[in-house]
Structure 1
Amino acid sequence: MLPDLCGAEWTRREGLAALTRALGADNIRWVGGAVRDGLLGVGVADVDCATKLMPAEVIAACGRAGIRTVPTGIDHGTVTAILKDGPVEVTTLRRDVATDGRRATIAFASDWPEDAARRDFTINALYAHPETLEIADYFGGLADLAARRVRFIGDARQRIAEDHLRILRYYRFQTRFGADLDTEAEDACAELAHTLKGLSRERIAAELLALLGLNDPHPTIARMRTRGVLPVILPEACPPQIALLGKLIAAEAAQGIAPDPVRRLAALLPPSPETAETVAARLRLSKAQRARLVAAAERKPGDAANPRALAYHLTPAFAIDRLLLAGGDARVLQGWSVPVFPLKGGAIVARGVTAGPAVARILQTVEARWVAEGFPDGERIEAMLAEELARATP
């Protein structure tokens, strides 16, 4: 039995009350993730609003109430209301006129059930009255939410045909909320997996990383490969890599290290910088994500021997990735700041060495010893410098 929304913090936000007064309680409903997560007692950041009003009416009504709006998706009926406690997307009721699996041509609808029918899963088609918080449930979403069941609205194949990305969204939602698998959904995703090839790389990457960032996506990723879905978007992920993902997730949990989707993506790839570069380009990852993926792919068996030396040369974030992937203990790096090598070339010149390659060689040698010895203090650095100067003297 699910609780109601009366205890959900987000329903008491001042901005939502102001928006309700501006647009009229009978004209709007809270919908989607805020309603779903509120019923589950999960924290809510963003709130979405469905409305009977046309976009121009929303803008005018908000203007009269002193609420600033931004036409973020006005061609599709979406206006963002800028409220003191966070923006709210206000979208006019819609219905799909035509779809090609990547984008939809929409028309404005006249009632809530028609708008609900175009959504993906039953648990995402729950509408809450802004004042009474009464839930309108047109497709059994409350029962599915209580049973932790992720089910497409209507025919699963038809929903996927409308937007192929719903295959990946299904696996993400099933990982986050699901308990028992929905056979129709699983079969439909497997049958239509090839349609993912028509999607933009950015949309695929966003969904894949969102899935990998969840608490434990390992069983889902393994199932996606078995059902032929994962090979379409990430053919490099073979059984050994999927097993490594499971070990990585366990290590993160055991060491108290927050999950990271790029680190987990690295686990799904062989330790090959060239492969990492290829995947990063194919998924159009950011420069920072690409650098992290490649650094993880350069992991070596000896990485765990000196974690802080590794962090000194790579950055702590990259070192933590490689340590966890190598089965090492990354806790030694938590809260540790990389020290600055205090010795400068001028100090070596002051001791009689002519500026040039000889200074650079001595500096590099002392730095390497300093790192290997665990970053000792100035007195030890002076001793190491004296030893290297003595060696350099003919």
Structure 2
Amino acid sequence: MNPAGVNPAGMSPVAPGGPPSLGDAPWLADPATQRLLATLGADGEEARIVGGAVRNALIGEPVEDIDIATTALPEEVMRRARAAGFKAVPTGVEHGTVTVVAGGRPFEVTTLRRDVATDGRRAEVAFGRDWDVDARRRDFTMNALYVDAGGTLFDPVGGYGDCLARRVRFIGDPDRRIAEDYLRILRFFRFCARYGRGEPDGDGLAAAVRGRAGLRRLSAERIAAEMTKLVTACSAATVMPALSETGLLGRVLGGIGLPARFARVSALVPARSAARRLPPALGFVALGVLVAEDVDRLADRLKLANALRGAMAALVGAQVALGARKAGLGPVDSAAVRRLVHGFGADAAEGALLLAAADCGCDADAGHLAALLAVARGWQAPSFPVSGADLAALGIPPGRGMGERLAALKSAWIASDFTLDKAALIARVENPPG
């Protein structure tokens, strides 16, 4: 018997003294979940929940998505689901995956499978009925845990012990797992940051270095999606040094990474974020952006979404406007923060403050930083109270002159810390200041 007391073949109930049953877990006991498992597991077929839901339940993390593995073929999954009144969508039917909506929530249901051929990016699969084979084609041991409708845990590859130890370990030969899909290199670091504890597994780290050339075979979009998850992971700062020292970070970013800066920013994230996660824009800027041109370089290389590119550009713009990299945050006051929020948005203002505190090269006044961050988070930027129609009513014709008048009024409004109201601004038009 292994230390966890789990049947290593994963084919029969766990012996007494093994891990407790998950039968009382709310997400498993939910009537919709139970009904779907019963629907898929009837008449000679089997169905078990697999992967993230089981892993998270065992380590006390929230269970969000529920994935189901089954011996039933995709067409049979859809037939059974629809006959039971569920909605079934063939979202990845060529790879055996059907999305079933039950009780208002989606479940990814995938037929047991084995890899027939892999090319480092995708796999050609064949469907089967062997739970052990299905487990051994997965990436990490903690992701190959199964639980049936009654809460019995099945652990074909020793994932239970790794899960409780927060040890991210490849299943079988790490080189082979990586060669099947080179994105698993970044996924390894991301899982270490999200679920791991201590130093990354040595065998996995060495295999990631050996396989690093394979990253060139991946699409920029897949790399960007994985990196976005990595920079926003709760303990991302702990794995960035290894990612950088192995040369992997430079390959991904196309330039020098800044893991120490990333760590400093991460340490300053307010405790209001329980997991102390960085927003994606701040994560990428902290890790790989020093000047405005770096935003376009990084966004082009990773083909980042326009919204993320824009958020990064706003953050860098707020940094420039703040101008506190060398001077620190001492001279920055609440009015300056309100100007940042108005000009670039609250997220950019908060990010600029954190970067300034990290970049100033001195110990930031924690109380002062906290007060400034509170302003960035709590102040709602008002709308400029004067419009072109207001000036037209005063007899000012549309055109360049009106635009210049509006710009001057807006500058005065901002300079007043947004206190001048419409009447006071209109008065400036009718009776310009001496």
Q: Same fold (TM over 0.5)?
A: yes
Distance 1:222 1:354, change over 3 A: same
Q: Distance in 1 between matches of 2:260 and 2:417?
A: 34
Are positions 1:127 and 2:150 aligned together?
Answer: no
Are positions 1:334 and 2:364 aligned together?
Answer: no
- Counterpart residue number, 2:237: 218
- Counterpart residue number, 1:179: 197
Are positions 1:248 and 2:250 aligned together?
Answer: no
State which of 291, 294, 302 in structure 1 corresponds to 2:323.
302
SS of alignment partner, residue 88 of structure 1: strand
- Counterpart residue number, 2:287: 268
State which of 335, 341, 344 in structure 1 corresponds to 2:387.
344
State which of 339, 345, 363 in structure 1 corresponds to 2:406.
363
Distance 1:226 1:386, change over 3 A: same
Distance 1:390 1:191, change over 3 A: same
Q: Distance in 1 between matches of 2:410 and 2:251?
A: 47
Q: Distance in 2 between matches of 1:330 and 1:142?
A: 41
- Counterpart residue number, 1:43: 62
Verify the 8 A CA contact 1:366 1:381 in the aligned structure 2. no
Q: Distance in 2 between matches of 1:383 and 1:62?
A: 66
Q: CA RMSD in A?
A: 2.4
Q: Residues 326-364 of structure 1, C-alpha deviation per residue, up to 9 Å, x if partnerless?
A: 226332021322101112345455556666544433332
Are positions 1:55 and 2:74 aligned together?
Answer: yes
Verify the 8 A CA contact 1:99 1:163 in the aligned structure 2. yes
- Counterpart residue number, 2:94: 75
Sequence identity (%): 38
1:63-102 matched pairs, under 5 angstroms: 63-102=82-121
Verify the 8 A CA contact 1:169 1:207 in the aligned structure 2. yes
Q: Which amino acid aligns with 1:162?
A: E
Verify the 8 A CA contact 2:58 2:164 in the aligned structure 1. no
**Could you state the TM-score of these two structures normalised by the residue count of structure 2?**
0.83
Pairwise CA distance, 1:377: 4.1
Distance 1:106 1:36, change over 3 A: same
Q: Which amino acid aligns with 2:74?
A: P
**Could you state the TM-score of these two structures normalised by the residue count of structure 1?**
0.91
Q: Distance in 2 between matches of 1:307 and 1:212?
A: 25
Are positions 1:167 and 2:179 aligned together?
Answer: no
State which of 140, 143, 153 in structure 1 corresponds to 2:161.
143
Distance 1:192 1:383, change over 3 A: same
Verify the 8 A CA contact 2:254 2:298 in the aligned structure 1. no
Are positions 1:321 and 2:351 aligned together?
Answer: yes
Are positions 1:155 and 2:173 aligned together?
Answer: yes
- Counterpart residue number, 1:311: 341
Distance 1:121 1:387, change over 3 A: same
Pairwise CA distance, 1:117: 0.8
State which of 264, 276, 301 in structure 2 corresponds to 1:282.
301
Distance 1:387 1:28, change over 3 A: same
Q: Residues 86-117 of structure 1, C-alpha deviation per residue, up to 9 Å, x if partnerless?
A: 11111111001111111111111221001001
Number of matched pairs:
388
- 356-365 vs 120-129, which deviates more? 356-365
- Counterpart residue number, 1:12: 29
Q: Residues 243-269 of structure 1, C-alpha deviation per residue, up to 9 Å, x if partnerless?
A: 221221122135758630221101122
Pairwise CA distance, 1:206: 0.7
Distance 1:390 1:128, change over 3 A: closer
- Counterpart residue number, 2:251: 232
Distance 1:341 1:23, change over 3 A: same
Verify the 8 A CA contact 2:315 2:344 in the aligned structure 1. no
Pairwise CA distance, 1:389: 1.4
Pairwise CA distance, 1:365: 2.1
SS of alignment partner, residue 209 of structure 1: helix
Pairwise CA distance, 1:161: 0.7
- 157-166 vs 251-260, which deviates more? 251-260
Unaligned runs of 5+ in 2: 5-18, 358-368
SS of alignment partner, residue 81 of structure 1: strand
Q: Distance in 2 between matches of 1:88 and 1:355?
A: 57
Distance 1:76 1:381, change over 3 A: same
- Counterpart residue number, 2:134: 115
State which of 194, 217, 223 in structure 2 corresponds to 1:198.
217
Pairwise CA distance, 1:318: 2.4
Verify the 8 A CA contact 1:273 1:295 in the aligned structure 2. no
- 247-256 vs 184-193, which deviates more? 247-256
